[in-house]
Structure 1
Amino acid sequence: MTDIRLSLTDKTIAQLPTPKEGWYLARDTELKGFFVVIGKRRRTFTVQGDLRRGGKRASSIRVSIGDSSEMSTRAARATAKEYLAQISRGRHPKDDKQAEGAHPVPATAIGRTVSSITLRQAWERYLDAHLIRKSRSEKTIEGYRDHVERIFAEWLDNPLHELATDPARVAKKHDQVTKENGPYMANGSMRTLRAIYNHARKTNRSLPSDNPADAVDWNEEERRNTGMGSADLKGWFAQLATLDNPVRREFHLFTLLSGSRPAALQEAKLEHIDFRRRTLHIPKPKGGKRKAFDIPLSRQMVLCLVRTTRFGRHMYPVQAQKWVFPADSASGHLAETKEDRAVLSKWGNDLRQTFRTIATSAGVSEVDAKLLMNHAIPGVNAGYITRHKLLEDHLRRQQQAISSAVFAALNGSMTLEGSLQDWLGRGRSRFGTQSAPPAKKV
């Protein structure tokens, strides 16, 4: 969405539409430099102004004030005025950094100020200058935020210099998080701390060069092996056929056949489907727009999209005008893809791992499987592979081989299992959806 201008109040902010992806700015018409960053999950009061040196503009800075759910617009505007006044005097509101041309500060004091940047300040700068500027997804940002504001909550107002000069404290924290939250959360939170510290040191050279996270004894992380083999597919299909919601049923099947991340498929739109070229475009996968790609469609995948489109038009006629997998949710598309494992044993990332396993058994090379899943390909020579040149012919054949292997694993179940026959039997892509039940779960 494009940025807008309006008089910011608690009411007008609450009424602003939530973006489908990314974020936009709602600028205040009363106070220049005061605005709200509107994201999918948060609405953050922010101020922007020009730091000046020697009477000339040196740099433009943004400073977060607070979340609109935690403070009123009136309070945020008052804080914004105070911050703008400090910026106009050559000071950064968060760390009292003083620009040249303002009142002189002794060198020793400057050293103390620079070194005293807190974790909270470093996080806010990393958020604005790195995550938001590089268009990282809301899900990615929320992951970082959880690490900083929950795991490291007691450190938020501590200077980074203290953490850097007390690495044993950081190592002890890693041990504590490992016990309380598990090895993956402990490692992930420390990777976040390492990234924030490295970013802060770019502009605070007095910080020690040794990153405090280097003191950590990292936990071993084993790839979760939850995928299925060919022998497991028959039972899984029987479970899938019993799901009440046919749109969810097709979603899980398409996740298996494509090996794609569920989050990307949830936001697939009808305009992204090209039946003539037999592709589904994914405009903003993990890694952002620069990693956009097309999924080549096998015959079974095309039929899956046809079925879900027809089911969607019957069950969610309004939402189905836009979304491939519509639902009665705030966004209009499937908002939650988890299932009760007592009903459906495998979903989500389990199906991506299954895709890789079946690809190997179908004779698809590792490079081709990675290309189909939009994974990075290691090695120098792989950098010269032009994906779209392979798409029209080679990759589609590999995709078809994988889909054929999936359905071959059913071994006659299509005729023996009544639920599978009703769902996937001959002519099922053409039957009407008048009997499709309304969905309870979105």
Structure 2
Amino acid sequence: MAVVNLTEARIRDLAPGSGIWRDEQVKGLMVVCHKSTKTYAVQGDVRRNGRHVRTVRVKIDRCDRIGLREARTRAKALMSQIQSGVDPTAGPDETGVTLKAALDHHLSEKQFRPATAESYRYHLDKYLTRFRSRAVADITRTEVRDLYDTLKKQRGQTTASCVMRTLRAVINTAMRLDETIEKNPVAVLRVPTSNRREVGALDLTAWWQETETCGPIRRDLHRAMMLTGARRSSILQVRREDIDLTANVMTFRHMKTGGQMLFPMGKRLSSIIADRLAADEPLGSPWLWPSPNSACGRIVEPKEQRRALPSPHEYRHHARTLFIAAGVPYAESALLLGQRLPGASGGYVHAEHLVEHLRPHAQALEDLVLGPIWPLNDDQQDEK
């Protein structure tokens, strides 16, 4: 960003795409050389009560439309406003809904999961601090684009995309609150969608042997994740009191779809869980998967960094595929995975009333996964 004594001739000679050239004579005045056009602009710091509020840049006009004298006159007027604490880019007073207020309203519109609401607030407090207390109408496309580029460089594409999705959703809510906000500045960005997770085929015999290399608790956790296909948050927060060995039912109380789910355990999973409860009873932990090294007293990260074992979400992929291989119908496999059935009629289906109907299908998955590795004995076959 060079500072020069701008003249009409010098402006004509500036190379396209050469960037920003500041004027020596008028503070804040600059010529921005784009690839195909040159524009006059003014930039300055808005300060109120001695505190820096924000840095604003205001486009004056294209250099081929107005002369340098007029550009300097307009720049002086704009800088006078900026130095007196007035933001020339701000909307009218009625557009003063802040991003924080818009987020509060967004989260109150419907019931979000605690983790979702927490991620929204984390993005606001961690990455959107410059916009947090500002009126949404003041947020410009240039600022959003600059923030996005900065986040991509410093935090990576995934974080940048997540933050932009949060910002886009909150501004959409602000637009419903304030009709004077006409466009969402995030709309100018091409925010890529998340890459589709690629999950390869799993050698079940090798997987079983790999789980044997884990500690007893984590070993059983991996086997339970395979046989239930449960979401990470659901299975990790199971308590001992959520296990009914008489009915062979495991209750998931933390469901993405809300409410709770009664999962019918097969014979092998029931045996695994029964042995786990007995072995861990001396620990006095309320959790099914206790961890003395965790602040909350339970396992919070089931992903094994040094072993070739699936992640919790990969287990859901495997379970969905293996349900099909086991001949389980779509509706039953979806209910066992804690998913809502599509269509209006799906709202009338209550999985908690279908535990015994779903039990043979849960057993079918178990037989397919562990049948060749862990055959049932004669008594268990009779019970089946």
Q: TM-score, normalised by structure 1?
A: 0.58
Consecutive unaligned residues in structure 2, runs of 5 or more: 1-90, 378-384
Deviation at 1:221, TM superposition (A): 2.8
Which digits, 9 at most, give the CA deviation of each residue in 1:349-373, with x for residues without a partner?
1211111121121122332221111
Asked whether the equivalents of residues 283 and 293 of structure 1 are also in contact (C-alpha less than 8 Å), the reply is: yes
Asked whether 1:216 is paired with 2:189, we answer yes
8 Å contact kept, 2:249–2:262: yes
Indicate whether 1:267 and 2:237 are aligned.
yes
Query: Structure 1, residues 32-90: CA drift from partner, whole Å, max 9, x if none?
Result: xxxxxxxxxxxxxxxxxxxxxxxxxxxxxxxxxxxxxxxxxxxxxxxxxxxxxxxxxxx
State the 1:425 CA deviation: 10
SS in 2 for 1:337: coil
Residue of structure 2 in register with 1:293 after alignment: 261
Q: Which amino acid aligns with 1:275?
A: L
Aligned match of 1:402 = 365
Choose the corresponding residue for 2:218, options 218, 233, 248: 248
Q: Distance in 2 between matches of 1:173 and 1:381?
A: 44
1:148 and 1:254 map into 2 onto residues whose CA distance is: 36
Deviation at 1:338, TM superposition (A): 2.7
Q: Give the drift of 1:406.
A: 0.7
The higher-RCO structure (CA 8 Å, 6+ apart) is 1
Task: Please tell me whether the aligned partners of residues 246 and 311 of structure 1 are also in contact (alpha carbons under 8 angstroms).
Answer: no
Match for 1:194 among 156, 168, 189? 168
The 3-state SS of whatever aligns with 2:92 is helix
Alpha-carbon distance in structure 2 between the residues aligned to 1:150 and 1:368 = 42
**TM-aligned CA distance change 1:199 to 1:220, over 3 Å:** closer
Separation in 1, partners of 2:106, 2:344: 31
Aligned counterpart, 2:27: none
The sequence identity of aligned pairs, in percent, is 25
Letter in 1 for 2:137: H
- The answer to whether structure 1 residue 136 and structure 2 residue 113 are counterparts is yes
Q: 1:363 to 1:173 in 2, by over 3 A?
A: farther
Give the Cα separation in 1 of the matches to 2:362 and 2:186. 42
Question: 1:183·1:221 contact (CA, 8 Å) conserved in 2?
Answer: no
- The answer to whether the 8 A contact 1:264-1:284 is kept is yes
1:149 to 115, 120, 125: 125
Are the equivalent residues in 2 in contact too, given 1:225–1:353 (CA < 8 A)?
no
8 A contact 1:161–1:207 mirrored in 2: yes
Question: Which letter does structure 1 place at the counterpart of 2:188?
Answer: A
CA distance in 1, matches of 2:226, 2:123: 31
Structure 2 partner of 1:302: 270
SS for the counterpart of 1:291 is: coil
Contact 2:245/2:274 (<8 A) preserved: no
Q: Which residue of 2 aligns with 1:391?
A: 355
Are the structure 2 counterparts of residues 234 and 387 from structure 1 closer, same or farther at C-alpha, using a change threshold of 3 Å? Answer: same
Displacement of 1:172:
5.4
Q: Aligned partner of 2:192: which letter?
A: N
Describe the superposition over 1:197-236 as per-residue Cα deviations: whole angstroms up to 9, x where unpaired. 233344433322x33333332314332123543xx12112
3-state SS of 2:338 partner: coil
Larger Rg: 2
Q: Distance in 2 between matches of 1:118 and 1:256?
A: 46
Equivalences, count: 287
Unaligned runs of 5+ in 1: 1-110, 415-423, 427-442
Q: Partner amino acid for 2:204?
A: L
- Matched residue SS, 1:239: helix
Deviations 1:290-317 (A, max 9, x none): 3322112111211121121122124x2x
The residue matched to 1:285 in structure 2 has which SS?
coil
Change (3 A) 1:125 1:382: closer
1 CA distance for matches of 2:279 and 2:268?
A: 16
Assess if the C-alpha contact under 8 Å between 1:259 and 1:352 holds in 2: yes
- Residues 153-164 of structure 1 mapped to structure 2, 5 A cutoff: 153-163=129-139
TM superposition score normalised by structure 2:
0.66
CA RMSD of aligned residues (A): 2.9
Deviation digits for residues 210-266 of structure 1 (CA, Å, limit 9, x no counterpart)? 33333332314332123543xx121121111011x2112111111111000122212
The alignment status of 1:258 with 2:232, answered yes or no, reads no
Which SS does the other structure have where 2:196 is aligned?
Answer: coil
Task: Kindly indicate whether the alpha-carbon contact (under 8 Å) linking 1:233 and 1:409 is maintained by their aligned counterparts in 2.
Answer: no
1:337 match: 302
Q: Which amino acid aligns with 2:198?
A: N
1:294 counterpart SS class: strand
The Cα offsets for residues 322-366 of structure 1, whole Å up to 9 and x where unpaired, read as: 2222221332322332322x2243232121111112112112233
Is residue 303–residue 310 contact of structure 2 (8 Å, CA) maintained in 1?
A: no
Aligned partner letter, 1:362: A
Match for 1:214: what amino acid?
A
Aligned to 1:349: 313
After TM superposition, give the deviation of residue 171 of structure 1 in Å: 4.7
Distance 2:106 2:349 in 1: 33
Write the distance in 1 (CA, Å) between the matches of 2:94 and 2:363: 58
Q: Residues 367 and 241 (structure 1 numbering): CA distance in 2 closer, same or farther, change over 3 Å?
A: same
Q: Matched residues in 1 for 2:263 and 2:289: separation?
A: 16
- 1:19-418 residue pairs with structure 2 within 5 A? 112-127=92-107, 129-130=108-109, 134=111, 136-137=113-114, 139-163=115-139, 166-167=140-141, 169-171=143-145, 173-174=147-148, 176-178=150-152, 180-208=154-182, 210-226=183-199, 228-229=201-202, 232-243=203-214, 245-287=215-257, 290-314=258-282, 316=283, 318-319=284-285, 322-328=286-292, 329-340=294-305, 342-393=306-357, 395-408=358-371, 410=373
- Classify the secondary structure of the residue corresponding to 1:281: strand
Give the partner amino acid of 1:327.
Answer: S
